[in-house]
Chains A and B, each alone.
Chain A
Amino acid sequence: MNNAKKIETWFDLFRILVAVLLAYVIALIILGIISDDPLYVIGQFITGPFSTFRRFGNILTTMIPIMFTGVCMCFVYAINKFNLVGEGAVNLGGCLSACVAIALSDKVPAWLLLIIVLVVGALAGMACSLIPALADQLFHADVCVVSLMMNYILLYITSYILKYRIKDPGSSITASYKWASSLKLGNLIPGTSVHFGFLIAIACVVIAAILFYKMSFGYRMRVVGMNPVFAKYIGMPVMATIILAQVIGGAFAGIGGTVQVIGMFQSYQWTSLTGYGFDGLMIAVLARKNPAFVPLSAFLIAYIRTGADIVSRTTDIPPEFVSIIQGIIIVLVAAEMFLSRFKSKLIFNSAKKALAQKEGKA
C-alpha cells in the first residue's frame, strides 16, 4: 500500500513535468510555424532568459508578484473554495498602500512607512477576500461569482481613487503623486531590476509553509479541504477554518500588491486588473497547493514569461503566446485522466511484484 502511495507522489511530479514539457513543445512548434527565422526565435525563447545577467534578473523580478498570489491561492485552493479575489486584492493593496505612502511620505521615517504600507496592503487584501468568504459561508452565495464581481468592484474603486483622489495633474500619464524615493524598495542584485520585494516574497513563502505544515491550523485546513463532512464530524470548526484560510490568503495577495507598487514604481499607475491573481491560481496548481513549491513553480512561469518577453522584443511576435502555454499546462495538470492509465499500470505492476515476493517467501 505504501508503495502505491509513493508511486502516486512521484507520479504527480512526473505528470507536471510532462505537462510542462508538452506545453513547451507545443509553444515551440507554434513559434516555428509562424516565424520567418524559427531557429533564432526558439533559441531566444529557450536560452534568452539566461543569456545575460540582466535577463536572469528579469526572471526573478517577474517572480515577485506571482509568488505572493501563488501563496494566496494555495490557501484558497487548499480548502477547495475558488475565491478568485486575489486579482482585485493586488490592486486594492497596491492602491491603498500608495495613498498611505503619499500621505505620510515626509512625516514618518522610511522603515516605519514600509511597515505601515505592508500592513495596509495585508489588511486591504484580508478585507477583499473576507467579503466573498462570508457571502459563501453565511449566505451560500457562490464564492466564485461573488469574487469575480468583487474584482471588478475593486478595479473601479481603485481606478476612481487614482483618477479623482491621488492623480498628479502634472503627470502626462494617469499616475498618482510620487512618494518619497526612500520608500522605493532598494535594489537587491546590482545590475538587475531585482528589488528587496524578492526577500519579502520568500519570507511570505516560509511563513505560509510553516502555517501549512507545522501548525495545527494548516492541518485543519487540509482536512477541511479534503473532506469537510469528516472534519465537521470530528469536531473541527469547519466554517471558521474556511473563512480564515481565505482571509490569510487575501492578506498575502494584498501584500503582493503593495510590494509590486513600491518595488517597481514611485507612483500608483494601475488602471486595469493585473492578471496576477489568475497567475497565482496556476502557480498553486503547479505547486500542488504546497506553498513550499511556490518559488519553484513561480520560477518556471517567470522563465517562460521572460523568454516570451525577449522574443517579443527581438522579433515582432506578440508576447501573449505564453498564455497559450499557461492554459495547456493548467488543463493537463488538472486533468486527472492525463497519463492515468500509465499510473495504474505502475501501481498494478508494483502490487503484483509485492504479491509475488510474499508468495515466494511463504
Chain B
Amino acid sequence: MNVRLITSFGFAVLRLSTPLVFAALSAAICEKAGLFNMAAESMMLWGALIGVIVSGATHSALIGFLAAMAAGAVTGMLIWVATVKGKADLMLAQIAINLASSGGTIFLLFALTGEKSNSAVAIKSLALPKINIPGISAIPVVGKILSGQNILTYGAVVAAIVLSIFVFKSKTGHHIRAVGENPHAAESVGISVPKVYFLAWTIAGVLGGIGGAFMSMGYLTSFTKDMVAGRGYIGLCASSMVGGSPIGAMLCALIFGVADAVSNQLQLTNAPADLVLMMPYIVTIVVLVLLSVVKHGRATRKVKAKS
C-alpha cells in the first residue's frame, strides 16, 4: 500500500466512525442506567433533519446544530414519556418511535419543501466547519489523517471523555449507575428512578442528535431519506460489547468504522463488498457471546461463593 492510500483510508475511518461513536455513546449512557437504547436511530434522524431545516432557515450552522441537539433530546424525552409515564414496554415503544421517525422525517421534509427524499435543492443548509490542527497537520501521514476532520469528529472524542468522567466520577453519574445496577435498591436509598431515566434519555437524545447533525451537516451537506441507515443499531452493539463504558464504546465504534472504510475501499475494486460489510456484525455477535459468558460465569461464581 502506498502512503496516499493509507492516509485516505485513515481519514475515512475517522470520518465514518464519527456518527457511530455518537450513537454508541447514546446507547452507553442508557446502558449504564439499565436501559436499552434502540432508538438512537430516531434521535439521529430527527437531529439530521432539524439541523438542516434550522440551519437553512437561520443561516447559522451553530443554531442548526443546537436545534439538532434539541430535536434528539425531545425524541429521547418522548420515549421517557411513553415508557415511564405511559408504562409502555420499552422495546415496543422504541420500535414504534423508530417506525414513526423513519416516516415522520420524510413527511416533515415533504410538508415543508415538497421534496420527498433529499433536502439539497430546497434547503440551503450550512455545514459544520472542518478544522486544521496547526501542530499536528505538519506531521506526515498521521497529520493528514488526524487534521482537517469535521469539528464533530474531534467532538466525538471529547464527548466520550466527558461522558466517561460524568458517569464514573460525578454524583449524578453514580446515581445513574446505581439505578442501572438495581433500580429497586437505588429507589430504597432515595434516588428517584424516573428522574434518572429522564436524565439518561435526555443525554442519550442530545448525543444522538449530534450524531444526526454530523450526518447531514458534515458527512453529507443535506438530509436524505433514511440516511442514518442502521447506524443507531450499530452504536447499540458497540456499547453492549463493552457493557456501556463510554471510552470502550468509542473504540468499538471505531472497529465498525474500519469495516465501513474497508468495504467502501473494496467497492471500488471488484471484491464482494457485501461479505466485508457483514464482518463487523459477525464480530459483534461473537464478542457479545464471549463477554456474556464471562460476565455470567463471574456472576454465578459470586452466588456460589456466597452460599
On A, residues with C-beta under 8 Å from B are 30, 33-34, 82, 131, 135, 139-142, 144-146, 148-150, 152-153, 156-157, 159-160, 163-164, 278, 281-282, 285, 316-318, 320-324, 326-331, 334-338
A150, A164, A281, A330: residue with the most chain B Cβ atoms closer than 10 Å: A330
* Main DSSP-derived SS at the A contact region: helix
A164, A322, A327: residue with the most chain B Cβ atoms closer than 10 Å: A327
| Chain A residue nearest to B290 in the complex (CB) | A139
State whether A135 and B288 are in contact (beta carbons under 8 Å apart), knowing that A145-B237, A320-B106, A330-B96 are contacts in the complex: yes
Once the chains bind, are B285 and A135 in contact (CB under 8 Å)?
yes
Once the chains bind, are A148 and B233 in contact (CB under 8 Å)?
yes
B151 on interface, CB distance cutoff 8 Å = no
Once the chains bind, are B100 and A327 in contact (CB under 8 Å)?
yes
Residues of B within 8 A of A281 (CB): 92, 95
Q: How far apart are the CA atoms of A348 and B293 in the complex, in Å? A: 48
Q: How far apart are the CA atoms of A135 and B282 in the complex, in Å? A: 13
B162 on interface, CB distance cutoff 8 Å = no
Q: In angstroms, how far is the closest chain A Cβ from the Cβ of B98?
A: 8
On B, residues with C-beta under 8 Å from A are 36, 38, 82, 85-89, 91-93, 95-104, 106-107, 110-111, 114, 116, 230, 233, 236-237, 240, 272, 274-275, 277-278, 281-282, 284-285, 288-289, 291-293, 295-296
Once the chains bind, are A330 and B278 in contact (CB under 8 Å)?
no
Once the chains bind, are A146 and B288 in contact (CB under 8 Å)?
yes
Q: In angstroms, how far is the closest chain A Cβ from the Cβ of B261?
A: 16
Contact of B100 among A145, A157, A324 (CB under 8 A): A324
Once the chains bind, are B236 and A323 in contact (CB under 8 Å)?
no
Residues of A within 8 A of B240 (CB): 142, 145
Number of A-B contacts (CB under 8 A): 153
Q: In angstroms, how far is the closest chain B Cβ from the Cβ of A189?
A: 30
| Chain B residue nearest to A162 in the complex (CB) | B274
Residues of A within 8 A of B291 (CB): 141
Residues of B within 8 A of A331 (CB): 82, 86, 88, 92-93, 96-97, 100
State whether A148 and B93 are in contact (beta carbons under 8 Å apart), knowing that A140-B293, A336-B88 are contacts in the complex: no
Once the chains bind, are A160 and B272 in contact (CB under 8 Å)?
yes
A-B contact pairs, 26 of them (CB 8 A): A82-B91, A135-B292, A141-B289, A141-B291, A142-B36, A142-B240, A144-B36, A148-B38, A149-B285, A150-B281, A152-B233, A152-B281, A281-B95, A317-B110, A318-B110, A318-B116, A320-B102, A320-B107, A323-B100, A330-B92, A331-B92, A334-B88, A334-B93, A334-B96, A336-B86, A337-B85
